[in-house]
Structure 1
Amino acid sequence: MATTTTGALGGSLQLRRRVISHHPMEAAALWTAGFASLFVFFLIPLAFFFGRHYKGRELEKPPLPPSPPSWIPVLGHLHLVKPPVHSALAELSRRHAAPVLLLRLGTRRALVVSSPAAVEECFTANDVAFASRPRSLAGRHLSYDNTTVTTAPYGRLWRDLRRVATVEVLSARRLHGFSPVRSEEVRSLVRRLFVGAGGGGGPPPSSPPAWVKAELSAGVFGLALNVMTRMTAGRRYYGEGPEGTEAARGFQEIVEESLRLRGVTNRWDFLPWLRWVDLRGVERRMRRLRRTRDAFLQRLVDEHRSRRRREKDDGDGERRTAVEVMLSLQESDPGFYTDDIIKSFVVGLLSPGSDTTAGTIEWAMSLLLNHPEAMRTLRAELDEEVEPGGGGRMVEEEDLPRLPFLHAVVQETLRLHPAAPLLVPHESTADCTVGGFHVPRGTVLLVNAWAIHRDPTLWGDDAGEFRPERFL
């Protein structure tokens, strides 16, 4: 009986193999049915389990920050952000009573922070999460693919560049060593203003001279840029002496084009698909400027390298330029401190250290001219502390600790007109919480310093007025 059953079973299996082998569609159907059963009995319960787990974790997260309701597909809130951007963002925060505001700017999320408590939380409790920088088209073309101090993402490169900047180039000892450079450039500017006002060195006039219009913008910009270029590369490109040289003209053209491109609102960072069109030719101009500036800086680096090899000298320890510092580091680690890193370091110093200083000086002069009482108070302080005997001596850096009202004028100027109304953007590399709200990874952080500096709850009802006395 067993033999018969076994034989029958074997015959059945042989018959089934023959059927399957002769009917491939039936075999495919059987395999499909098997996978469907596996999905039903295994994958669906697993997905249900993970779905409940993920939903539970989502419920545990804090809510997202408030956001304006006027959202447009594709554009998001870009239509609400109009120049000046810091003023538009301050108005949005005020309108929605939200010191922490979440915007959708094209393909990017942006967190706008306009309260001191939220800013402190971003840079203390969440300092690591917000340590990186967002990538941009300008950073790619004009900052050597985001490798400057202000554009590099968080990592070894940023840490090394920051260390070199703070310890080797901008340390107190190094800044003190370049004090004569700053003094020379200030005297050069004063001399040009004096000559331009008709003070050519002749006999003193019998009557007080009439008011003379002075072009201060170009002068203070040249002053700030000359100080930075002499600290960075040991050369000056504005003012007396170098104005007519070919190198000076080339450098000035590079600076002017850089400022023009910085003034262009670049929507490619928020709408990347616009790069395919480039209607205004912004990216094309950036590429051209990158090539021109790179060739100029490479010649500068090569000249310094040749001089180091020829003179076999590391330069004056107190007055070593930034290029000389970077070349000495390149000799110890040539794989890391490449020529491109040296050039990006120079770019990262020149731009933030020149137009920001010039803009602050211009605003200070404008505020003093429009507030004669503050101007008289400052002049009285200078007369009393700097030249009590009427000797006509110019202010030196050693006099600054004895000039509290001058410090108050500078601080009040920076409060009303900060050099960077929106601080350099950061980007979150991990989820975090700010002000009790959930901030997803990849969110751009915009700190509105301009709004904080004019907040009546912090500075009083006269927050928009120029009152240096508030800092005394």
Structure 2
Amino acid sequence: MLLLGLLLLLILLAGTRLLWGQWKLRSLHLPPLVPGFLHLLQPNLPIYLLGLTQKLGPIYRLRLGLQAVVVLNSKRTIEEAMIRKWVDFAGRPQLLSYKLVSQRYQDLSLGDYSLLWKAHKKLTRSALLLGIRNSMEPLVEQLTQEFCERMRAQASAPVAIQKEFSFLTCSIICYLTFGDKVTEDTLVHAIQDCVQDLMRTWEHWSIQILDIIPFLRFFPNPGLWRLKQAMKNRDHIIEKQLRQHKESMVAGRWRDMTDYMLQGLGRPTVEEAPGQLLEGHVHMAMVDLFIGGTETTASTLSWAVAFLLHHPEIQQRLQDELDRELGPRALGSTVPFKDRARLPLLNATIAEVLRLRPVVPLALPHRTTRPTSIVGYDIPKGTIIIPNLQGAHLDETIWEQPHEFRPDRFLYPGASPSTLAFGCGARVCLGEPLARLELFVVLAQLLRAFTLLPPAGALPSLQPQPHCGVNLTMQPFQVQLQPRGAGTPGLGERQ
């Protein structure tokens, strides 16, 4: 009886809060409101949200539980918010699930906008772009070559390529973050398993529902217990590496990103940020690097392979382009990333994969830091904003035949607009330069070494998992990697 009374009280309080919120907004010119409360249950949510624009236009409001959010579905509205009015839209909602994984230190991806957050971002960006700028490309090329050699050793058997890409991208982040301390695959496997476990647990409905109905955290929740265990494992791995780095670090020199960030804690920042960057901020920056730099890039590489399996004619053209630039079947030769314009079709293919399958299709939600507006609509302070990146990439008013895989649309300067796959503005993905380097190097070396074939003619599905979390995950598939060594016929020759 007591439980029923408590439930009725909570419903009454929620209803009162909803009515009060509506009363306060009565004088504003708000975007149209979509009826209903169960939108999160829709399969292929980005496509569903795009479909609503046919009646409501590119910007509208809808309710996720009791929380009203504003959805942006066009390149114009997203860029107005995130670039031209970036200060207004740079915040993050402080959801319960965010607080759970961030613990006492806000990380970069989930942390709210502040001067301390800007200092944290600057330190991490400097470590990624300045601290290791001379070693990044050679390392990616070396690890990709080793990856190709492993694939060649099992070329006769179908390969679960997603798993292999995941190990490769995790290896790259491990080496950049921990340096030559990573001498065995054991640590890479441990971090790979940790990242996958953490994301799988965090994206489970038993955790995400806490953002909609926070009081459920007081009830027994096995998912919450599993999340805490995954975080404990995560923190144990990172704290051990931090401790080893502090014990062996030499002042004024850095071997990797961890050294750089630890030594950067005492440096003055441009702004006088309230508070101070501490070791915990380095800890959470490393978490962000692993979460944002492994499965995301591995997923994009997997989508690229899947599309090329469906379009062997484009795969053949890519191999012809590589052969023209590097010589027929040359082994070990590469195109430097700074000279990537020499491979226009490869660049166009990467751009088209990112357009059709942005790995985080709804980005991460933003929050307005002050009252503002978008295309004439009033947006109150504290409003949660969802940029539908995939929806903007499928806008028929911008893209010709938007659902078709057509890399050629990017081959002519000015013919197609740039994509928003990595976000834009203050919250643009910090790992974009590394991700673009990896996509270019891995696909170039993979297509130089192998022809991609569907095992027994079984093509992978090009439809994502219907109910995804943050990432746009694909259904598992296998690929046969046919070596292109001397004497091995190419794809066009076999056909």
TM-score by length of 1: 0.75
Aligned residue-pair number: 381
Deviations 1:277-325, CA, capped at 9 Å, x for gaps: 254x2222222222221122111100000001xxx35435xxx422101
- The alignment's C-alpha RMSD in Å is 2.5
Q: Within 5 Å, which residues of 2 pair with 1:84-163? A: 84-94=44-54, 96-145=55-104, 147-163=106-122
1:276 pairs with 2:221: no
Which residue type is aligned with residue 136 of structure 2?
Answer: F
1:78 pairs with 2:24: no
Asked if 1 retains the 8 angstrom alpha-carbon contact of 2:105 and 2:280, the reply is no
Picking from 230, 249, 253, the partner of 2:175 is 230
1:23 maps to none
SS in 1 for 2:179: coil
1:188 pairs with 2:146: yes
With a CA cutoff of 8 Å and minimum separation of 6, indicate the structure with the bigger relative contact order: 2
Shift of 1:80: 5.5
2:155 maps to 197
Picking from 114, 139, 159, the partner of 1:214 is 159
Q: Which moved more, 1:84-93 or 1:445-454?
A: 84-93
2:30 maps to 64
Deviations 1:168-214, CA, capped at 9 Å, x for gaps: 3224x83343222111110111011000115xxxxxxxxxxxxx412
1:321 pairs with 2:261: no
SS in 2 for 1:456: coil
1:168 maps to 127
Query: What CA distance in whole angstroms lies between the structure 2 residues aligned with 1:362 and 1:350?
Result: 18
Shift of 1:328: 0.5
Query: What CA distance in whole angstroms lies between the structure 2 residues aligned with 1:287 and 1:232?
Result: 24
1:439 maps to 379
Asked if 2 retains the 8 angstrom alpha-carbon contact of 1:110 and 1:446, the reply is yes
Shift of 1:242: 2.4
Query: What CA distance in whole angstroms lies between the structure 2 residues aligned with 1:220 and 1:282?
Result: 28
2:239 maps to 298
Query: What CA distance in whole angstroms lies between the structure 2 residues aligned with 1:250 and 1:365?
Result: 26
Picking from 391, 397, 410, the partner of 1:457 is 397
Picking from 354, 361, 364, the partner of 1:421 is 361
Asked if 2 retains the 8 angstrom alpha-carbon contact of 1:65 and 1:100, the reply is yes
SS in 1 for 2:133: helix
Asked if 1 retains the 8 angstrom alpha-carbon contact of 2:116 and 2:277, the reply is no
Deviations 1:321-362, CA, capped at 9 Å, x for gaps: 2210121023558x8232211100111111111111111111
Asked if 2 retains the 8 angstrom alpha-carbon contact of 1:423 and 1:449, the reply is yes
Picking from 331, 338, 345, the partner of 2:285 is 345
Query: What CA distance in whole angstroms lies between the structure 2 residues aligned with 1:436 and 1:81?
Result: 30
Which residue type is aligned with residue 315 of structure 1?
Answer: R
2:349 maps to 409
Which residue type is aligned with residue 186 of structure 1?
Answer: T
* Cα distance change on mapping 1:134 and 1:182 into 2, 3 Å: same
Q: Which moved more, 1:393-402 or 1:224-233?
A: 393-402
Query: What CA distance in whole angstroms lies between the structure 1 residues aligned with 2:379 and 2:83?
Result: 15
Asked if 1 retains the 8 angstrom alpha-carbon contact of 2:356 and 2:405, the reply is yes
SS in 1 for 2:149: helix
2:299 maps to 359
Shift of 1:90: 1.9
* Cα distance change on mapping 1:343 and 1:80 into 2, 3 Å: closer
Query: What CA distance in whole angstroms lies between the structure 2 residues aligned with 1:114 and 1:227?
Result: 34
Query: What CA distance in whole angstroms lies between the structure 1 residues aligned with 2:180 and 2:116?
Result: 27
Which residue type is aligned with residue 404 of structure 2?
Answer: E
* Cα distance change on mapping 1:85 and 1:176 into 2, 3 Å: farther
Give the number of the structure whose residues are more often helix, by fraction.
1
Query: What CA distance in whole angstroms lies between the structure 2 residues aligned with 1:449 and 1:253?
Result: 28
Query: What CA distance in whole angstroms lies between the structure 2 residues aligned with 1:121 and 1:252?
Result: 37
Counting aligned pairs with the same residue, the percent is 27
Asked if 2 retains the 8 angstrom alpha-carbon contact of 1:226 and 1:236, the reply is no
1:381 maps to 321
Query: What CA distance in whole angstroms lies between the structure 1 residues aligned with 2:124 and 2:280?
Result: 16
Shift of 1:141: 2.2
1:10 maps to none
Query: What CA distance in whole angstroms lies between the structure 1 residues aligned with 2:310 and 2:45?
Result: 25
Which residue type is aligned with residue 129 of structure 1?
Answer: D
Q: Within 5 Å, which residues of 2 pair with 1:38-49? A: none
Shift of 1:118: 1.3
* Cα distance change on mapping 1:271 and 1:455 into 2, 3 Å: same
Deviations 1:120-159, CA, capped at 9 Å, x for gaps: 2212443222111112233212233461111111112211
Asked if 1 retains the 8 angstrom alpha-carbon contact of 2:202 and 2:227, the reply is no
* Cα distance change on mapping 1:86 and 1:428 into 2, 3 Å: same
Query: What CA distance in whole angstroms lies between the structure 1 residues aligned with 2:314 and 2:140?
Result: 26
SS in 1 for 2:398: helix
Shift of 1:84: 2.9
Deviations 1:353-412, CA, capped at 9 Å, x for gaps: 111111111111111110111111111101101124x43344343552310000000000
Unaligned runs of 5+ in 2: 1-22, 269-274, 412-495
Query: What CA distance in whole angstroms lies between the structure 1 residues aligned with 2:41 and 2:85?
Result: 26
1:267 pairs with 2:209: yes
Unaligned runs of 5+ in 1: 1-54, 72-76, 199-211
Asked if 2 retains the 8 angstrom alpha-carbon contact of 1:112 and 1:448, the reply is yes
Query: What CA distance in whole angstroms lies between the structure 2 residues aligned with 1:351 and 1:235?
Result: 21
* Cα distance change on mapping 1:235 and 1:292 into 2, 3 Å: farther
SS in 2 for 1:101: strand
Shift of 1:251: 2.7
Query: What CA distance in whole angstroms lies between the structure 2 residues aligned with 1:408 and 1:66?
Result: 37
Asked if 1 retains the 8 angstrom alpha-carbon contact of 2:198 and 2:231, the reply is no
Q: Within 5 Å, which residues of 2 pair with 1:235-250? A: 242-243=184-185, 245=186, 247-250=187-190
1:38 maps to none
2:12 maps to none
Query: What CA distance in whole angstroms lies between the structure 2 residues aligned with 1:170 and 1:467?
Result: 32
Which residue type is aligned with residue 77 of structure 2?
Answer: A
1:33 maps to none
Which residue type is aligned with residue 336 of structure 1?
Answer: Q
* Cα distance change on mapping 1:248 and 1:376 into 2, 3 Å: closer
